Amino acid sequence: MSQKNQKTTLTEQDVILTDHSKQLPAQFFKKSHDLLFSQLSLSPREHDIMALLLSRLHQEHWQSFIDGTAIRAPAYQFKSDVLCGWLGVSSTNLYNTLSAPAKHLANRVIGIRHPDRKEFDFVTLFKRLSYKNGILTIIPNDELMKEYLGVSQGHAQVDHHVFRKLKKEHSKRLYPLLSRFKHESHSLHAQTIEELHGFFGLLNEKGQLLKTSFANNKVFIDRCIRQSIEEIEKQDTHLEFLLSEDGTFGYRGIRNGRKIEKIEFLYRWHHAVNTEEQNERDTLAAERAPQERAEMLYDLVLHFEPEESGNPTVEELNMMMMYSAQLMEGGRLMNAQFMAKFGMAMREAMQA
């Protein structure tokens, strides 16, 4: 039996074991654009556990699930030494430190809202979280594979040393958002108060505030905006917050009459000399927009000829199909003729 057939027969689920901190990135973890702008409420410890998963998560870990040789999404396991170092606790305190946050994370729901289209989608973040024999196992929800892997609109590059020092839940939510736009050619546009309510996880599934006190803009801005900026400013020396013309630090309130309707964050990043970060920035800058890549791949499949140089890979074909709805909206047909070509391309790619 070939190695490929053995894997197809035997692989139920890939397990990604982390038994040493050197297997984690030295400084940065990635958080996808879709996760960043979702409606999500996590406690500080839950944020730390989520960041640990994102630090280890990589697209290649999902390849067996994508190509069908594994029937379940990958399971990520973290040994006690890694957990102690990441969370800053002793091994004797691990169970108590992890128990409540893991229980809550198992039921946490991420929300994608489109009020203009009267659409929403709420999905649980994880399939399972378990702790046994000093090992934490996390299984992400495979329905969120696109959001976890960041294949749609890029990602934020977050300094996990700074992130783990932040104590406030709203600071841990805001810092990755500010980390999404580090280059001068991209900026974070002003956010409406309603958008920020959702961003900071203050809304229920009906779009109503969980705490009525946050309906008061002064309370909301003080707790979620001002206090978060003050904490972040103390921890990251590469991020400089600016004063507005009204004297507010790190943000500017945009008014309609006397009422603040939007918040614009005022900040700039000082370029670090860190090689890892610079390489990541250069890679991101050179990447073709994902939908453009999908359109290019569609054209390759439409005109597919076997054994041509540059024919698409399995990964590229799967990535293209993630954008099937957008491709059809743009006039690209997914008819029988195209799907026949797609099948030929996939068979060749799997045999490569």
CATH of the domain at 78: 1.10.10.10
Instruction: Average the pLDDT over 31-51 and give the result.
Output: 92
Does position 234 have pLDDT exceeding 80, yes or no?
yes
User: How confident is the model at residue 37, as a pLDDT?
Assistant: 86
Q: How many domains does the chain have?
A: 3
Same-domain pairing of 24 and 151: yes
User: How confident is the model at residue 108, as a pLDDT?
Assistant: 93
Which has the closest alpha carbon to 269: 214, 349, 187?
187
Q: Write out the two tokens for 59.
A: 């697209």
Residue 170 within any structural domain of the chain: no
For every residue of the chain, which 3-state class applies, written as one string?
A: CCHHHHHHHHCCCCEEEECCHHHCCCCEEEEEHHHHCCECCCCHHHHHHHHHHHHHCCHHHHHHHHCCCCCCCCEEEEEHHHHHHHHCCCHHHHHHHHHHHHHHHCCCEEEEEEHHHCEEEEEECEEEEEEECCEEEEEECHHHHHHHHCCCCCEEEEEHHHHHHCCCHHHHHHHHHHHHCCCCCCCCCCEEHHHHHHHCCCECCCCCECCHHHHCHHHHHHHHHHHHHHHHHHHCCCEEECECCCCCECEEEEEECCEEEEEEECEEECCCCCHHHHHHHHHHHHCCCHHHHHHHHHHHHHCCCCCCCCCCCHHHHHHHHHCHHHHHHCCCCCCHHHHHHHHHHHHHHHHC
Q: Is the pTM of this model over 0.85?
A: no
Contact 40, 78 (CB under 8 A): no
* Residue bearing the bigger pLDDT, 146 or 5: 146
Q: How far apart are CA 128 and CA 141, in angstroms?
A: 8
Q: How far apart are CA 203 and CA 11, in angstroms?
A: 40
Which has the closest alpha carbon to 163: 152, 179, 148, 139?
179
Same-domain pairing of 158 and 283: no
Same-domain pairing of 199 and 248: yes
Contact 232, 166 (CB under 8 A): yes
Same-domain pairing of 118 and 99: yes
Lowest-pLDDT range of 116-120, 169-173, 182-186, 299-303? 182-186
Contact 28, 159 (CB under 8 A): yes
| Residues 6+ positions from 5 with CB-CB distance below 8 Å | none
Instruction: Average the pLDDT over 233-254 and give the result.
Output: 95
Angle between helix 44-56 and 80-87 (nearest 10): 130
Same-domain pairing of 25 and 119: yes
Does position 152 have pLDDT exceeding 70, yes or no?
no
Residue 158, beta-bridge partner list: 29
Q: Which band of pLDDT confidence, cut at 50, 70 and 90, is reported for residue 48?
A: very high
Same-domain pairing of 297 and 282: no
Query: Given the structure tokens 């972040």, which residue do they identify?
Result: 232
The residue out of 238, 267, 287 marking a domain boundary is 287
Same-domain pairing of 146 and 198: no
Same-domain pairing of 283 and 298: no
Instruction: Average the pLDDT over 198-205 and give the result.
Output: 88
Same-domain pairing of 303 and 214: no
Q: How far apart are CA 330 and CA 218, in angstroms?
A: 44
| Residues 6+ positions from 212 with CB-CB distance below 8 Å | none
Q: Which band of pLDDT confidence, cut at 50, 70 and 90, is reported for residue 226?
A: very high
Residue 171 within any structural domain of the chain: no
Same-domain pairing of 252 and 343: no
Domain that holds residue 120: 11-165
User: How confident is the model at residue 10, as a pLDDT?
Assistant: 46
User: How confident is the model at residue 282, as a pLDDT?
Assistant: 54
First to last CA, the chain: 18
Q: Judging by beta carbons within 10 Å of its beta carbon (0-12, 13-18, 19+), is residue 232 exposed, middle or buried?
A: buried
Same-domain pairing of 16 and 149: yes
Lowest-pLDDT range of 35-44, 236-245, 320-329? 320-329
Contact 210, 204 (CB under 8 A): yes
The residue out of 165, 197, 220 marking a domain boundary is 165
Alpha-carbon separation of residue 210 from 35, 228, 272, 289 (angstroms):
21, 19, 39, 36
Which has the closest alpha carbon to 186: 157, 147, 226?
157
The residue out of 233, 260, 287 marking a domain boundary is 287
Residue 267 within any structural domain of the chain: yes
Residue 196 within any structural domain of the chain: yes
User: How confident is the model at residue 231, as a pLDDT?
Assistant: 97
Could you tell me the CATH number of the domain that includes residue 213? 1.10.10
Most confident of 176-190, 223-237, 275-289: 223-237
Contact 241, 229 (CB under 8 A): yes
Contact 14, 64 (CB under 8 A): yes
Which has the closest alpha carbon to 73: 63, 87, 88?
63
Query: What share of the chain in percent tops pLDDT 70?
Result: 88
Does position 74 have pLDDT exceeding 90, yes or no?
yes
Same-domain pairing of 224 and 281: yes
Residue 4 within any structural domain of the chain: no
